[in-house]
A = this chain, B = another copy of it.
Amino acid sequence: MDIKGHVSQQAQKAREASRHLAVLSSEIKNNALRAMADALVSEEKSLISENQKDLENAKSQGLAPALFERLTLNPKRIHDMAKGLLEVSALPDPVGEVVRMWRRPNGMEVGKMRVPIGVIGIIYESRPNVTADAASLCLKSGNAVVLRGGSEAIHSNRKIAELLIQAGVQAGLPPDSIGFIQTPDREAVLHLLKQDRTIDLIIPRGGEGLIQFVSEHSTIPVIKHDKGVCHTYIDEHADIEMAKKISFNAKVQRPATCNAMETLLVHEGVASAFLPPMISEFQKAGVEIRGCPKTQAIVAGIHQATEEDWGTEYLSNILAVKVVKDMDTAITHMETYGSHHSEAIVTQDYARAMAFLRRVDASAVFVNASTRLSDGYQFGLGAEIGISTTRIHARGPMGLEELTSLKFIVLGNGQVRG
């Protein structure tokens, strides 16, 4: 296979399709999304059988449990994928919205109109559901997409893409709205990253290695979906029961995700009351605790956290715990060791809640809620193409709006520049 040719052809075709997609009616786009959902559900068996091939390969290669779990497709997950497509079809079409319009002294009206970005390249690992999520969000927002999934999910991804493309074309989409890179060869990624004349934005989703590779080699703008070293800070004015519930959920509900908590920061004023029952609850759930000296002094038999622990995204049942003297120290800790992903405070103090909201530099800042809620569906975006840790264009969960940009429009009646 001519990898370079295949990649640039996929990108070029997507560019052509994007011109038609940008002005396609909402009705056609929505019909296509519904047809895609039907196709996934009615082909459930063949999807699971393709997924089985990937899982067997994964097993023989000894993939880490967290990654294996992400790779698995079952009827529920397929149903969820289809449901995601239907939800996206039911969302308002963002394209063409005029978000604001104002009048200038010379009488012209200036406004901003929401338009598709153009062609989006998605480079991802592990989760096959990204194929459907990414395609649906790109299409609904009027963008063409070029998909490049990981080699570990090639069979699942290829089958999903095939079903989506087939259903989409039958419903009236331009045939090349969804491009799919057929080869698992990493060289293909390198070529994809150089298609700056045909691709407008690259969204990588995967491990640090992939993100770094993409950032280093891309001549196309990149929105990173980087690691999440997320913190929950338990303030001295926290409701202790709420703090326990939120902390437990943030760590235990699904530890393999980027918005799971990695470090628990506890105000020294509540540490003695909060930590013993909290840590006992964590330990019952199989969570290994690594604590600072103060934590060790409060609860016996805990391993000491090293400097490295504070910056680690465990993606598993390990939690670092640190007792801090105040909110400032907690925020400084987040800035020093965190990844600006999702951060939470638990407090009943109004002024502290407001200060935390403004001061903490993260893509999502929570008061009295679990960082696990940092998610496109949970936020009501309809779906999610990833959680941006880049500081431009979009921060945090990206849905439909985040896949568009705004062009200026001017309604004049003969205005010129003086």
Contacts and interface: CB of A to CB of B under 8 A. Distances in A.
A19 B417 CA distance: 40
Given A370-B417, A410-B373, A118 B215 contact: no
Contacts of A378: 104, 417
A417 B253 contact: yes
The 6 closest A-B pairs by CB, nearest first: A369-B412, A249-B416, A372-B417, A393-B393, A364-B408, A369-B415
Contact of A409 (B108, B365, B375): B365
A199 to B, nearest CB: 10
A406 B395 contact: yes
A364 B242 contact: no
Contact of A253 (B223, B374, B392, B416): B416
B200 A372 contact: no
Contacts of A335: 19
Contacts of A415: 368-370, 373
A296 interface: no
**This chain: copies in complex:** 2
B369 A396 contact: no
A410 B378 CA distance: 11
A77 interface: no
Interface in A95-110: 96, 102, 104, 108, 110
A167 to B, nearest CB: 27
A42 interface: no
Interface of A: 19, 22-23, 96, 102, 104, 108, 110, 113, 115, 117-118, 196, 200-201, 215-216, 219, 221-223, 239, 242, 245-246, 248-250, 253-254, 335, 353, 357-359, 361-370, 372-375, 378-380, 390-397, 405-417
Contact of A221 (B222, B363, B373): B222
Contacts of A357: 113, 409, 411
B196 A391 contact: no
A369 to B, nearest CB: 3
Given A102-B380, A118-B361, A392-B392, 18 more contacts: A19-B335, A96-B358, A104-B379, A118-B391, A196-B215, A201-B392, A248-B416, A357-B411, A363-B407, A363-B408, A364-B409, A364-B410, A365-B407, A365-B408, A369-B413, A373-B410, A374-B408, A375-B417
A215 B222 contact: no
A215 B220 CA distance: 8
- The interface residues of chain A, by DSSP majority, are classed as mixed
A117 B391 contact: yes
Contacts of A363: 407-408
16 contacts: A19-B335, A22-B361, A110-B380, A113-B358, A196-B215, A216-B219, A221-B392, A249-B416, A363-B408, A366-B412, A368-B412, A373-B410, A373-B415, A375-B417, A393-B393, A396-B407
A405 B417 contact: no
Contacts of A215: 196, 219
Given A104-B380, A222-B221, A245 B414 contact: yes
Contacts of A104: 378-380
A201 B390 CA distance: 10
Q: Among the interface residues A239, A364, A396, which one has the most CB atoms of the partner chain B within 10 A? A: A396
Contacts of A250: 416
A410 B366 contact: yes
A200 B392 contact: yes
B22 A390 contact: no
A405 B364 CA distance: 12
Q: Among the interface residues A104, A379, A397, which one has the most CB atoms of the partner chain B within 10 A? A: A379
A375 to B, nearest CB: 8
A102 B399 CA distance: 15
A247 to B, nearest CB: 10
Nearest to A362: B407
Contact of A369 (B19, B367, B414): B414
Given A102-B380, A369-B108, A246 B414 contact: yes
